[in-house]
């Protein structure tokens, strides 16, 4: 299976050299793995040039099947470990910034106190891309907004209020709460949440259209832009609790609230480490509630 994983890693990183370094192989060994895979499939999968690497049309066709094959093999190995007891394993999670920077570190730390041999792989994304990672098997489960996901099992965890974020000297900072009408009149920096944007959903429900000047993927970049006076934004309270920016957060009326949950294909077929971690998360949140 090494050649399949090497091929996947090369595509993800975009470099034979960097993939070799991450996997602990020489570059020639990685190249040989790809050649062996190409011989097995009787085609060319990757083209190399000075500008980097690109998939051939056949490579594009084969990639999802190679991913699926490797992920099935990984699940087989996890099942083998399960039959020997939870002595190791890897928990692969799809997540986004507000979860990975606020909830996950403590959850992982406390879980590893119980199961120190378990390892974690986190893949950052937004609701839509995380759902795709789950469906194709690249992660075992993920944190999502249930309203943005279909054809997956979802367990709601928590409601997360979203707040307005303003430059420190903005005139609206004198208001105790801000209305969507007030926010719609300011230059707006939109957080890219995938196909569903919670703020845009609420603006639309009130027949309002924000003055979007920037669309940004990362919460921390948005906070930095707001600090520089480039506009205002609406961000989750969970990520704003640990901010180190010279900005002001304000409640919104009526409140904008999103739900965060865990999504997966079938819990029964998940690797044992991921099943244990999901149960651990649910217990932690139930204890808080």
Q: Given this model, what pLDDT does residue 27 score?
A: 86
Q: How many CB atoms sit inside 10 A of residue 106's CB? A: 10
Long-range contacts at 65-71 (CB < 8 A, ≥ 24 apart): 66/4, 66/7, 66/8, 66/37, 67/8, 67/136, 67/137, 67/138, 68/136, 68/137, 69/4, 70/1, 70/4, 70/5, 70/8, 71/136, 71/137, 71/138
Residues comprising the chain, all counted: 289
User: pLDDT tens-digit profile of 76-115?
Assistant: 777 666 655 566 788 999 999 989 988 899 999 999 988 8
* Contact assessment for residue 28 and residue 41, using Cβ atoms and an 8 Å cutoff: no
User: pLDDT tens-digit profile of 142-189?
Assistant: 999 999 999 999 999 999 999 999 999 999 999 999 999 999 999 999
CATH (residue range 1-76)? 1.10.10.10
Q: Given this model, what pLDDT does residue 85 score?
A: 57
CATH (residue range 160-257)? 3.40.190.10
Sequence ranges of the domains in the chain: 1-76, 160-257
Q: Which residues pair with 169 in a beta bridge?
A: none
Mean pLDDT of 265-283: 91
């Amino acid at each position: 299976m090494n050649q399949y994983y090497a091929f996947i890693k090369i595509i993800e990183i975009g470099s034979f050299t960097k993939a070799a370094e991450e996997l602990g192989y020489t570059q020639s060994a990685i190249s040989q793995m790809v050649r062996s895979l190409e011989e097995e499939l009787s085609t060319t999968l990757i083209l190399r040039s000075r500008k980097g690497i690109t998939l051939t049309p056949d490579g594009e066709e084969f990639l999802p099947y190679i991913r699926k094959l490797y992920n099935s093999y990984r699940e087989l190995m996890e099942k083998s470990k399960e039959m020997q007891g939870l002595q190791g394993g890897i928990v692969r999670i799809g997540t986004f910034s507000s979860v990975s920077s606020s909830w996950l570190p403590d959850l992982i730390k406390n879980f590893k106190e119980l199961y120190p041999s378990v390892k974690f792989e986190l893949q950052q994304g937004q609701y839509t891309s995380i759902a795709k990672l789950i469906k194709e098997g690249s992660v075992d489960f993920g944190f999502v907004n249930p309203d943005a996901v279909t054809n997956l099992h979802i367990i709601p965890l928590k409601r997360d209020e979203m707040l307005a974020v303003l430059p420190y000297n903005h005139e609206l900072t004198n208001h105790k709460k801000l209305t969507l009408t007030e926010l719609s009149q300011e230059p707006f920096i939109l957080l890219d949440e995938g196909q569903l944007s919670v703020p845009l959903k609420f603006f639309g429900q009130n027949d309002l259209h924000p003055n979007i000047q920037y669309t940004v993927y990362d919460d921390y970049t948005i906070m930095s832009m707001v600090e520089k006076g480039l506009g205002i934004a609406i961000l989750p309270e969970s990520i704003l609790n640990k901010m180190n920016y010279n900005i002001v957060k304000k409640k919104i009326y009526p409140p904008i609230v999103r739900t965060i949950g865990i999504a997966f294909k079938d819990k029964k077929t998940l690797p044992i480490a991921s099943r244990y971690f999901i149960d651990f998360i649910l217990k932690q949140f139930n204890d808080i509630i």
